[in-house]
Amino acid sequence: MNGTNRHTSSDLAGFFKPRSIAIIGVSRSPSSFGGMSFLDHFLKAGYPGIIYPINPRAADVRGIRAYPDLASLPETPDLAMIAVQAGAVPAVLQECGRLGIRHIHILSAGFGELGTNDGMTLERRVASIAAEQHLLIMGPNCMGPYCPATKLTAWGAIPGRDGRLGIISQSGGITQRLTEQVSSLGVGVSKAASIGNAASLDSPDFLEYMDSDDDIDLIAMYLESVRDGRHLFDLARKVVPRKPVVLLKGGQTEVGAATVASHTGSMAGNRRLWNAFFEQTGVTPVSSMNEWADAILAFSSLPKAGGDGLFIIGGGGGNSVIFSDIAVGEGLTVPQLSPASMERVRPIVPVAGSIAGNPLDLWESFVNGDRLCDLLDVAYRDPQIHMVIVDRLIPRIAFHSPEMPDPTPGIIDFIRTYKGRKPTVFTIDYDGGDMDLNAQGAALRRRFCEAGIPAYPSFERAIRALAHFQRYHRRLRRRTSGGIRPFQRGHTPDNCKDC
């Protein structure tokens, strides 16, 4: 925020549950991106509220009565979506202020992201009007609010999957991709805010709102910059102990920072400051879309971990060695099983062709669901083990696999109903170019994920997600013991105007 547009975090709820929406700038062109495409998607999603298309040259649009301007509407809409040329936006905002329309989404581009004096002047004008008229504005240059529970899904996964995830992003395209990706893996979204240039409302405003929203348990953020680094820092330290925050930071290289300036018209900031921010707030940093979605999947689905001891049920001796190295490299441990656990494991693991211990290599676990459940029971009872990863090979001709009933339903049922289960994830081996194998693997991965059991297409991605999950819980224990250091002199967010 600029500091002059006062609001409470609860005020932002109006963006996500409007009973009526005015779309200013609905072109009749069937192929144009903007007001018409948003209208079409609202209709496709089954939005139950009233939509008011604004077009001075149309009597109706898609069979819906159109209006020449906002003043002609029979009521004051809850949300105004602006999709007109940038130069016309200030006049529309002034009209919104006069009519008492407070929640506004500016889809239009052509502001500070252009890097021109005119564009930056226009963006400052938007911020000024917001402050003068006490408007709550998302944007400009953004996709706006998204909420599957209210069918407010004109972008992203349509009609979307309702859930407990909150998303705050300066990129509409990235937000759209994330909603689609997590939805396909069984993770629902409570609310997403694509904020673009953030001329008025900025990421801390929505972080504070999502912290207070009882429908949100986990927050994902994509940021390129933030105006008030100290405010974000203080807020993140308050939010993270209650709700994990997973942040994909854009613009951390010289090339990326230059691209940021042309995307949202902002400076990307100093990498050292962001590293200090992550270290001292507990916000989980990720560096790619896949890592972002993988961490979200783990945080959304797994029970709390009590430590970093990992039990690996692997597929082959070589894999077991590699998997152990990867796990240790990510800061996890691969402890020996307890004597009681080894007494249970040795009789069921052949001496030849297998490995009894941790990692554990037992071919039968791939085709015999009961045997795998026996091993999981061992892990869940072992005090040395806090997490489990299962490398789930898909039986195929090259492995001389016998024909057996699909063990997946029984495995899923065992894990979901086990009262003392520990964080358990699967890797599904389906890479390598075999199209049939790819299809089988993707389908199996989805079955586990839809059941609330994270599954990943590689061991590396699974371990990275588990490591993020464990670091968060380890940090909570450190915070409780008072082990978090404050910012050091010379590395405070106050020193960063655009971090």
**Contacts of 116 by beta carbon, 8 Å cutoff, 6+ apart:** none
**Per-residue confidence (pLDDT) for residue 215, from 0 to 100:** 97
**Is 70 exceeded by the pLDDT of residue 90?**
yes
464 with 325, same domain: the answer is yes
Own/partner contacts of 266-269, CB < 8 Å, gap of 24 or more, are: 266/112, 266/170, 266/197, 266/224, 266/225, 266/498, 267/225, 267/497, 267/498, 268/224, 268/225, 268/498, 269/225, 269/226, 269/229, 269/496, 269/498, 269/499
Q: In this structure, are 278 and 168 located in the same domain? A: yes
Whole-angstrom distance, CA of residue 205 vs CA of residue 103? 14
- pLDDT value of residue 379: 97
Q: For residue 378, what is the domain's CATH number?
A: 3.40.50.261
Alpha-carbon distances of 305 from 224, 464, 473, rounded to whole Å: 31, 15, 7
Higher local confidence (pLDDT), 113 or 432: 113
Number of folded domains that form the chain: 3
296, 317: one domain: no
358 located within any domain: yes
The answer to whether 22 and 84 are in contact (CB under 8 A) is no
Average pLDDT over residues 338-364: 83
End-of-domain residue from the set 255, 276, 301? 301
CA distance 211 to 215: 10
CA dist 36 and 41 (Å) reads 9
pLDDT-above-90 percentage for the chain: 71
pLDDT at 351 over 80: no
Of the pLDDT bands very low, low, confident and very high (cuts 50, 70, 90), residue 482 is: low
Q: Residues 121, 76: one domain?
A: yes
Are 111 and 122 in contact, with CB atoms under 8 Å apart? yes
Q: Are residues 150 and 296 in the same domain?
A: yes
Question: What is the C-alpha radius of gyration for the chain, rounded to an integer number of angstroms?
Answer: 26
Cα–Cα dist 27/107, whole Å: 14
At 304-349, the pLDDT tens digits run: 988 999 999 976 666 778 899 999 999 999 999 999 999 999 888 8
Is it the case that residue 212 has pLDDT exceeding 80? yes
Is-contact 395 365, C-beta < 8 A?
A: no
Q: Tell me the mean pLDDT in the region 195-224.
A: 96
**32: pLDDT confidence band, cut at 50, 70 and 90?**
low
pLDDT on residue 263: 42
Residue 489 has pLDDT above 60, yes or no: no
pLDDT of residue 395: 63
Residues 469-477 have a mean pLDDT of 90
Same domain? For 152 and 133 the reply is no
Last residue of a domain, one of 251, 269, 301: 301
* Same domain (yes/no): 133, 149: no
Banded model confidence at residue 291, pLDDT cuts 50, 70, 90 = very high
The answer to whether residue 487 is domain-embedded is no
Please identify, among 301, 332, 355, the residue that sits at the C-terminal boundary of a domain: 301
> Is 488 contained in some domain?
no
Distance CA 42, CA 385 (A): 48
Decide if 387 is inside a domain.
yes
More confident residue, 453 or 400: 453
The per-residue pLDDT for 6 is 60
Q: Which two tokens stand for residue 486?
A: 């404050």
Residues 268 and 226 in one domain: yes
The answer to whether residue 486 sits within a structural domain is: no
pLDDT digits (tens, 9 = 90+) for 162-195: 999 999 999 999 999 999 999 999 999 999 999 9
Higher pLDDT, 368 or 397: 368
Q: Is residue 3 part of a domain?
A: no
At 469 the pLDDT is 97
**Which amino acid is located at 394 in the chain?**
I
| pLDDT of 46 above 60 | yes
- pLDDT of amino acid 272: 81
- Within this chain, do residues 127 and 38 fall inside the same structural domain, yes or no? yes
pTM above 0.75, yes or no: yes
Lowest mean pLDDT of 8-12, 213-217, 375-379, name the range: 8-12
What integer pLDDT is reported at residue 434 of this predicted model?
75
CATH of the domain at 31: 3.40.50.720
Is residue 46 included in any domain, yes or no?
yes
441 vs 385, more confident: 385
Mean pLDDT of the chain: 88
pLDDT of 201 over the 80 cut? yes
**Distance (Å, whole) CA 139 – CA 149:** 22
Range of the domain at 60: 9-138
Phi and psi at residue 97, to the nearest 5°: -65, -40
Residues 281 and 329 both lie in one domain: no
Interval 276-303 mean pLDDT: 95
pLDDT > 60? residue 490? no
278 plus 347 within the same structural domain: no
Q: What is the pLDDT of residue 167?
A: 98
Residue 431: burial class (beta carbons within 10 Å; 0-12, 13-18, 19+): exposed
Contact 282, 240 (CB under 8 A): yes
CA 491 – CA 468 distance, rounded (Å): 24
Same domain, 53 and 19: yes
